[in-house]
Amino acid sequence: MVEPITQWEPALLREIGITLCIIAITILGTHHIPDLKKNPRLRFLITASVVIMVLGGMDRYPVVTEALTIAVAVAAVGIPLAVCTRAYKIIVTTN
């Protein structure tokens, strides 16, 4: 029986997440290069190369993984904090 996603190893979850994010960022980023925009095969090759490079680099430079994890953690903590601060401000200023 397959374990629920919430019980998967953090390292595996991180690798899947980083891979998907890099694919998305590369696809969206290469949109602005006219030569690549018209050549989907080259675009695919570049995306695959970037994914391999980053995943390979993650082992050599763990600081990249840590930085990405910290960025996600900051977003997860910061978004509710910003929204609740805004709600607080609205409550205080509209009364």
Q: Which positions lie near other proteins, rule CB under 8 A?
A: 4-8, 10-11, 13-14, 16-25, 27-28, 31, 68-69, 72-73, 75-77, 79-81, 83-84, 86-88, 90-92, 94-95
For residue 4, the minimal CB distance to other proteins (Å) is 7
Q: 52 or 81, CB closer to other proteins?
A: 81
Crossing angle for the helix pair 10-30 and 40-60, to the nearest 10 degrees: 140
Whole-Å CA distances, 82 to 31, 71, 86, 93: 32, 16, 6, 16
For residue 27, the minimal CB distance to other proteins (Å) is 5
For residue 81, the minimal CB distance to other proteins (Å) is 7
For residue 75, the minimal CB distance to other proteins (Å) is 7
Q: 1 or 91, CB closer to other proteins?
A: 91
59 is written with which tokens? Answer: 């082992």
Pick from 88, 92, 70: which is nearest to 80 by CA?
88
DSSP per residue, 19-30: HHHHHHHHHHHH
